[in-house]
Each structure stands twice: as C-alpha cells, then as structure tokens.
Amino acid sequence: MRETASGIRAVVRCDELGTAPYSDDPAGLFRPYLGAGHAATLDRIAAWMTEAGMTARIDAAGNILGRYEGQSPDAPALMIGSHVDSVRDAGRYDGMLGVMLGIEAVAWFAERRRRFPFAIEVIGFGDEEGSRFPVSMLATRAVAGTLAGQDLDLLDADGTSLATALEIFGLDVARLDHAARPREDVLAYVEAHIEQGPVLEAEDRALGVVSAIAAQFRFRATVCGVAGHAGTMAMRLRRDALAAAAEMVLAIERIGGAGTDDLVATVGRMEVRPGVPNVVPGAVEFSIDIRAGTGAVRDRAAEAVRAALAGIAGARQVTLDMELQQDLKATKNDPGLTRLMEQAVQHAMGIAPRTLVSGAGHDAMVMAGLAPMSMLFIRCAGGISHNPAEAVRVEDADLALRAMTDFIERFDARAAASAQQGTQ
C-alpha cells in the first residue's frame, strides 16, 4: 500500500540520505557539489519526485528540479526548495529537510488529485554551502540569473576545476547560465529550513516565520611574513605569519563581540605554509565571515576588521591582503508572502507565530532576486547545525508540512481573489 504524505516520511528520507552512497565520506555526511554523493542523491530524489507525481530533471547547474503541472501546461510555477549539498561532517536536515517537505507537499495534493492554476516546482540546489569551490550559492545564482561577473575559473582543494567537475557530471561550464529561469516563469519562491539557532526551542515553538536574512561578507585573508629555521631564528627578529594571524583572529572575535546582538564574525578555515614543525610560518591564509541583520552594521564591522588587521600587520612587519569573495546583501522577505506564511503557521499551531531574522544565509536570499520569497523555520534541537548532532522532531516536521500545504492553499486563494478583482 502506498504511504501517504507526511513530515515523518520527510525526516526518514533525510536520514536515508545521510549515509553512503549519498555521502563522499563513509564515516559521516559530506556531500559536496558535483561529487559522487551528490550524483547518487539526485538519482534518489528524482525517484521520489516521480513517485509524488512530478516530472524530474537535472538543470544545467546540477540542480534537481521536479515539476507538478498546473491546470494548464506551461503555467508559471510556485517554487519550493532548499539545498542538497552539505558541509563536511554535516547534520542530515540542513537544506535537505526543505527539499523533502516540498516533495511531501506535492504528494499531499497529488493524493487528493488537486491541481492549481499554477504549477508547483520543487528544487534541490546543488551548491549552497560552498564546501567544494571557494564561493557559495553558485548553482542558486545560476537559477536566479545573477552569475554575471562571477569568475568561473575555480579550483577545489584537490586542484579540480569547476569546468572539469561539471564535465564529469555530464554538464558544461559554458552552459551554466542556461539554468537561469525567466522571471515570468516563477511566481514565488518558498523555503522551509531548520532554524540553525536556539530561539524556537527556547520558546517551545515548533515553527517560526522568517522576516529577513542577514547581510554577509566573506573574505580570504593572506598574511605573508618570512619563513625561517625554528631553531636558529631569534624571537626578536621573527616575522611570523602565524603569530600575526593568531592576533588577527582574536581581533576579529573582539570586533564581532563588541557589536550589536545580530553581528557575528568568524574565522572558520586556516592554512599555514609551509606547515612543518621546525619552520617559522612564512604565510597563512584564512577565511573571515562577517554577518549582521543590516548591511550598515556589517559594513562598519568589516571596516573595523580591516583597520585592526592592518595595524597588526604593520606592527609585526608582515603583509596583509584581504580579498572579498562574497557579498550578500541583507534580504527582506516579501511582506505579502510573509503574512500568508504567518497565517498558515498560526493555523497549524493554533498560536500567533514567532517571526525571526535569519543569521544564516539561505538559497532564498539569492532567489529573492528572481521572485518574491518567503521562509518557514523549523525547530532544531539545541539550535545545533552543521554538526552530526543536528536533530529535529518528527511531529515538528508534520506541523511544517501542514503549514506548507495551508500556505499553498492561501497562495491560490489570494491569486484567485486578485484575478477576480482584475475582471471587475
């Protein structure tokens, strides 16, 4: 007997995709863009999309796309999605739960033989995390049509180029922009995602509504000093790149902690060269991630970081280069869709919804350049994410599915009311 659509099934499917062959790491979950785990995952998702009543395809950027046709062919679509890639040593629900809930929402309507004046498309973006190549949301920006100016001559940590990775996947870097969707094809974009923070759990709420997504800068900092023998180079004569970088990391932490509550600053990756025990480090490369609820707060923090790091470099007689790799503007969710989502969450939970600003970046902030967007947050245990301890409650996933199907009904009713007013 065929199972009925449910949030529980969405969680179970996320769990299935958390192991080999859907991961490139047999000891944990790591699903980088265009890897073997990514390919296996798309095959599995395509089967589930077909089972739910959709046609499935992989676009020019390596995203998986399922389409549930509307009452007429070629109707514009309400798009539901999130990402299928992961960080290294990841949890199972970041991104993937949103894709699975999109499939369950379509299955729910298909079981009831319900079609709408619009199509419903479910998309699993291939590259949100940037865990393989040194930019994030590459595949999302391809769909949104915002790749102009992006350097595509990118290499992963193993020296494999983006062009080669796409070719192995059966795709062509020269056709990456063919994934772009015309604005008239997408009515709105909706994303369900675990909160990746502790607010909903602290307030004993299963669901929340996102009102905005924080602004983000990502830099690559390179510090160059002078390498030398660890046993013969006097301490007072050293130009130690790692010692300078260590002081810089503490300065970044201090600046992030001295700002508003929504300001965060993180160094998450560092490479030391030559990286051997008996040589004073000559060069260090590290990442800087700065986020805030508004662009103004983020920008002031970035200038403070630049000034502090330049001062440290001068005092320690090393050179510093800060290269901007990513600039994501603060994104306000569409007010009309946010109201619909608030109504849907209140109907599902029976209480007034909690609205939150997302400190994490999401595909939705890129898709907002293509279509109006809304986001639904789902409680996660301890607010833990990007970690194998990531966990959700199956009853919360069921409530999320209820809210999503109710949102789609309300979206349909709003469109019908608008069309009726237009004929009067």
- Could you read off the pLDDT of 354-384 as tens digits, one per residue? 999 898 889 999 999 999 999 999 999 999 9
pLDDT for residue 1: 36
pLDDT for residue 5: 85
Give me the residue spans of the domains in the chain. Answer: 7-214+330-423, 215-328
The domain defined by 7-214+330-423 folds into Aminopeptidase (3.40.630)
Q: How far apart are CA 289 and CA 47, in angstroms?
A: 37
Beta bridge partners of 142: none
Beta bridge partners of 265: 290
End-to-end CA distance of the chain: 48
Q: How far apart are CA 313 and CA 248, in angstroms?
A: 9
pLDDT for residue 2: 53
pLDDT for residue 282: 98
Whether residue 138 contacts residue 33, with contact meaning beta carbons closer than 8 Å, is answered with: yes
Is there a shared CATH topology between the 7-214+330-423 domain and the 215-328 domain? no
Q: How big, in percent rounded to 5, are the helix, strand and coil portions of the chain? A: 40, 20, 40
Question: Which amino acids are annotated as binding site, given as ranges?
Answer: 83, 94, 129, 193, 218, 278, 291, 386
Find how far residue 377's CA is from the centre of its chain: 13
Q: How far apart are CA 25 and CA 258, in angstroms?
A: 38
Largest CA distance in the chain: 88
Give which of 422, 418, 412, 389 is closest to 78, Cα–Cα. 412
The domain defined by 215-328 folds into Alpha-Beta Plaits (3.30.70)
pLDDT for residue 323: 95
| 8-state DSSP, 418 | H
Query: Residues in the chain with pLDDT < 70?
Result: 1-2, 422-424
Residue type, 20: A
Give which of 6, 396, 406 is closest to 200, Cα–Cα. 396
- The structure tokens 């320690």 sit at 316
Question: Which amino acids are annotated as binding site for allantoate, given as ranges?
Answer: 218, 278, 291
Question: Which amino acids are annotated as binding site for Zn(2+), given as ranges?
Answer: 83, 94, 129, 193, 386
Task: For residue range 206-227, list pLDDT tens digits in order.
Answer: 999 999 999 999 999 999 999 9
